Structure formats: C-alpha cells, structure tokens
Structure 1
Amino acid sequence: MNKKISIFLVHFIVLSFKLDAATVDTVSVYSESMHKSIKDVVIRPAGYNSSQKYPVLYLLHGYSGNYSDWIKKDSELPRLADEYGMLIVCPDGDFASWYFDSPEEKGSRYETYIAKELVTYIDKHYPTVNNRAGRAITGLSMGGHGALYLAFRHQDVFGAAGSMSGGVDLRPFPDSFGLDKVLGEYSRYPERWEQNSIVNMLHMIKSNSLALTFDCGADDFFCLYNNQLHEKLLERKIPHDYTSRPGGHSWEYWCNSIKYQAMFFSTFFNSTNKMKAG
C-alpha cells in the first residue's frame, strides 16, 4: 500500500475514534438558593445527537471532594456513558454538605440545588428524558447518603437511586465528616440526626416507586450500617439490590462498583421506556 495512503488511513482511524468518543463538559450553574455559581461535570456519550433524548445519571462525590473527583479518578467513566447511551452528571456538593439544605449553614442548600436547580438546568440545556423515568442518582460515601436522601425526598424527580459505601446512618459519627457543621451538634439536635439518617427514612418510600441498588465493601467502616439498611428494607418488603463485595473505602472499590450500578440504571431506563412504548 502507498505510504501516504497508509498514513492517511491511520490519521483517519484516530480521528474517527476521537469523534466517536464521549465528550466531557464542565458547566457553571448559578444557584438562586445559594447566590453563587457552581461547577459540574457533564459527560455526553459517543454519537451524541441533540435530536435524541438521553436518560441522565447523577453521580455524587464524597466528603472533602468536588465535582471533578469522578472524572479524574475513574478513566472508564466516559466509556460507561458510551456503552449505555446516557448522560452522566457529576455535581459539586461542596466539601461537607452531605447534600442537605442545612439548618445550620444557611448558605448550604445542596438538596435544593441538585434536585431542583441543577435538574432544571440539565433538562433545559441538554436533550434529556425529562421525567423520573429518565433520571437516576447515586454516589459514593457522603454522596451515597446524598443520592438516597435526595431520591427518597424527591420521588417525583428520580425514578432510581443507588449508593456506594454510603453513610446511611449518621448517628454513630457525631464528631466526624463535618456533620456537626451542617446538622448542628448531635447532643443539641439529636432529632435532626435521627430524621436525616437514611435508615430512618424508609417510611418515605412509596410502593414500588424507586428502583434501588446499593453496595458496600466488606472491609468498609460503613459496612455494618449498610447491612442494617438492607435488613430494614427486607423487613418492609421494599424491593432492592444489595451487594457486599471484598474491598474497603477506596477509589479502587468505587471504580469497580459504578460499572455494576451503571448497568442497573441502564436496565431501569430501558424497562421504563419499553413500558411507555407498550
């Protein structure tokens, strides 16, 4: 083969690969509730087309992290957007917001920001399946708590939710992870800690309203509390998937876990679309 043609083909193949890969956007979204702009990552799948409607997976970071954690730590994340044809949105949840509208810090309103302001922005600026059948939310550690918390409280917004190594019971950690800053001291406001722990919020789940999946590493300090959440869901006969795999509270664990959860959410998106089509 002619050498020039060979070089051209190589460049063409490389260019085609780049054009057919996920695109990572960093957007700045103004929060009316907090009076500031907040950065978020949006991953668009390969072959993104503005005339097509895409389901959205909201993926939350953990304590002390930010919006860029997932895309920096997990190089495979764009491939998951490609494989399942979904948008992946990684919001900023501040250093230690725990995704509450904090009764202590009036400038920390990350429940309102993500469940209302950010969802509205994404639906306005991207071609989304803009209803609960096209939205899922999950996250790691603090973000695992946040994802379940937001989904339980906003079942009209999210149709599926998950958690990876989530802090699902806050009460055992009164002096850790900045929780006292957003909820107040446990000794002064125990009711806040009780009411905002996921294990005490199961009464909020409407019958078959949420597709749920969560997992935790067997060596994780949160594993005991995730096991207890699983048992309480069983007691209430609330359908869910739960897995405890080998591993600790680490990015190695979470980068593996998100692969299974992305598959779970893709199945949810596909099943709800089929039901509508039928």
Structure 2
Amino acid sequence: MAFLQANVYSNVLEMEVSLNIILPQKTEKKIGTATSGHSTDVPVLYLLHGMGGNHSVWERRTSIERYVSDLGLAVIMPSTDLAWYTDTTYDMPYWTFIAEELPVICHELFPQLTKKREKTFAAGLSMGGYGALKLGLAKSEHFAAVASLSGAVDLAGRTDDLLSIKGKNYWEGIFGPMEQIQGSVNDPMFLLEQLVKSGKEAPKIFLCCGEEDPLLYANKTMAQALAGHGIEYTLETGPGNHDWIFWDQWIQRVLDWLPIESKEKA
C-alpha cells in the first residue's frame, strides 16, 4: 500500500484542505506484508472523521492501512473541521465540498480511482457516521454502500443531546435554528423520506454502535425508520462505548461487509 498526505485547494471553501490517502500498490516483501496493486478502476472508500478529529485520526488511532492491504481498496480521509458535513450558516459550504468537489479533486489527482457507483463507498464515526449516512441518502446515485459507526443519525430527534456537547450558538452556526433541523436537508430522517419518494436506488446501509454508547438509541431509531421504508440495512451492536477501542474493532467489520469485488475474488 501507499500512504499519501496531500494539501489541496478547495475552490468551494476558498482554502487549503488536508487529505490522507491510502492507495493500492503492488509490493513484494518477505515479512508478510506483500500487497497487490491496481492501476485502473480502483474501488474507493471515503472515510470520515468525528468531532475532535481530522484527516489523520483514522490512520493514527486504528490500523486502517493494514486492514485494507489485501482489499485493493483506496481510502480517502479528508479533514472537514467541526462543520458536521454541512453547508454552515456561517458561509462555509463543507457539504458541497465533501459531496461534490472532493470526488472531482480525487479523480483529477488519482485517475485510477473508479467512477462507478457499485465500487464507491462511504463510512465514518460519530459526526462522520452522520456524514456518511447523509452522503448515502442524499447522493445515493454515487454510493453503493455506506456505513455509520456510532453515528449521530437521529440528529433532529435528539437536540438535547447536542446541547450537552456544545452550546446553542455552535449548533445554530452549523445548522441554523435548532427547531428547524427537523425536516431540513440536514435531517437524515427527512433525507430518507426524500430518497424513498424519488424512487432512486438506495445504497446498502450498515449501522453499528456500542451497547454502552449514548447514541445506541438513535441508531435503533434510524434502523426502525429504514425498515419502515423497506430499505436494505444491517444494524449490529456489541460491547463498547463511544471510543477508539470500539471503532478500531468495528471498522474491520465494516470492511468485511463492504461489497468489494476484489475481495470477493480473493
């Protein structure tokens, strides 16, 4: 595998943005770390960080590079600050960056990446789990599968939980008036309803959460909503809290779950 660190300019954000990238590379080693490389149509996973993290945190807190070494999978890890994968009310369009501009930048810099929906995936933890699900619901034409680890996936229904993390001014800087989150483009439940009404094909959805995690109820609520709309999903829970011990373990489960063609042929 090749591990790259990039600083790119975002025309949407009008600022430099940092990315970490893992790319398949053919290597021959004698210590059990040989990997296979691909030069075209490489499947890609956009892997999103949570609050307090950035583009480096998945690489630093887990063994993600080792976990994908035999999968022929590229992993894109962008930094999106504390903006909740949203076009904020303070005029920073992070949603437009992550959903529209970032894939264009990545395909320009790494032309071996696939442009096929069936080989494009998103995943994330906590805030990033919200972002990954949002990508899957709002941009279903681009993603075959999305996974949310301990995601804040019932955002509008649990605004009291948000206020226990940061103050009202912060949240309204991101989303606008908190009472208006529900039924807006930042509400995953609303996005789910819109996707169903559109008749578009939904991505496969994976939800996981620790049984001691405060967000467990939110994930169960989202699972019930997906089931009610007939959307294919998987909900799995296990021992654990809202921490990297859980996420390091469960990102491996997510990678097993992803419908990666090269993995199926291995």
Shared fold, TM over 0.5 = yes
Normalized per residue, the structure richer in helix is 1
Q: 1:241 aligns with which of 234, 237, 246?
A: 234
CA offset at residue 50 of structure 1?
A: 6.3
CA distance in 1 between counterparts of 2:182 and 2:194 reads 16
Contact 1:45 1:78 in 2 (8 A): no
The CA deviation string for residues 78-117 of structure 1, in whole angstroms up to 9 with x for no partner, is 11221211001111111x2110112x110x2121111221
Q: 1:269 aligns with which of 232, 247, 260?
A: 260
CA distance in 2 between counterparts of 1:235 and 1:138 reads 23
Contact 1:29 1:118 in 2 (8 A): no
CA offset at residue 52 of structure 1?
A: 3.0
The one-letter code matched in structure 1 to 2:180 is E
1:166 aligns with 2:151: yes
Unaligned residue ranges in structure 2 (runs of 5+): 27-35
Contact 1:40 1:89 in 2 (8 A): yes
The corresponding residue for 1:105 is 90
Contact 1:220 1:249 in 2 (8 A): yes
The corresponding residue for 1:114 is 98
CA distance in 2 between counterparts of 1:157 and 1:120 reads 12
**Higher RCO structure, 1 or 2 (CA under 8 Å, sep 6+):** 2
CA distance in 2 between counterparts of 1:98 and 1:194 reads 17
The corresponding residue for 1:197 is 187
CA offset at residue 179 of structure 1?
A: 2.6
Contact 2:71 2:260 in 1 (8 A): no
Contact 1:61 1:143 in 2 (8 A): yes
The one-letter code matched in structure 2 to 1:41 is N
CA offset at residue 207 of structure 1?
A: 5.5
Q: 1:69 aligns with which of 39, 53, 57?
A: 57
Report sequence identity in percent: 28
CA offset at residue 242 of structure 1?
A: 0.9
CA distance in 2 between counterparts of 1:150 and 1:210 reads 10
CA offset at residue 184 of structure 1?
A: 2.4
Q: Point out 4+ residue stretches in structure 1 off by more than 4 angstroms.
A: none
CA distance in 1 between counterparts of 2:132 and 2:237 reads 18
- Secondary structure at the aligned position of 1:221 is classed as coil
The one-letter code matched in structure 1 to 2:191 is M
Contact 1:208 1:238 in 2 (8 A): no
Write the mapping of 1:1-278 to structure 2, written as runs, cut at 5 A. Answer: 22-47=1-26, 49=37, 51-74=39-62, 76-94=63-81, 96-102=82-88, 104-106=89-91, 108-126=92-110, 127-171=112-156, 172=158, 173-175=161-163, 176-177=165-166, 178-186=170-178, 190-195=179-184, 196-205=186-195, 206=199, 208-265=201-258, 268-270=259-261
CA offset at residue 68 of structure 1?
A: 0.6
Contact 1:161 1:211 in 2 (8 A): yes
Larger radius of gyration: 1
CA offset at residue 129 of structure 1?
A: 1.3
CA offset at residue 209 of structure 1?
A: 2.6
CA offset at residue 57 of structure 1?
A: 0.4
Unaligned residue ranges in structure 1 (runs of 5+): 1-21
The CA RMSD measured in Å over matched residues stands at 2.0
CA distance in 2 between counterparts of 1:148 and 1:70 reads 18
The corresponding residue for 1:16 is none
CA offset at residue 133 of structure 1?
A: 1.6
CA distance in 2 between counterparts of 1:138 and 1:208 reads 18
CA offset at residue 201 of structure 1?
A: 2.4
Contact 2:38 2:72 in 1 (8 A): no
CA distance in 2 between counterparts of 1:77 and 1:33 reads 29
CA offset at residue 131 of structure 1?
A: 2.3
The one-letter code matched in structure 1 to 2:23 is R
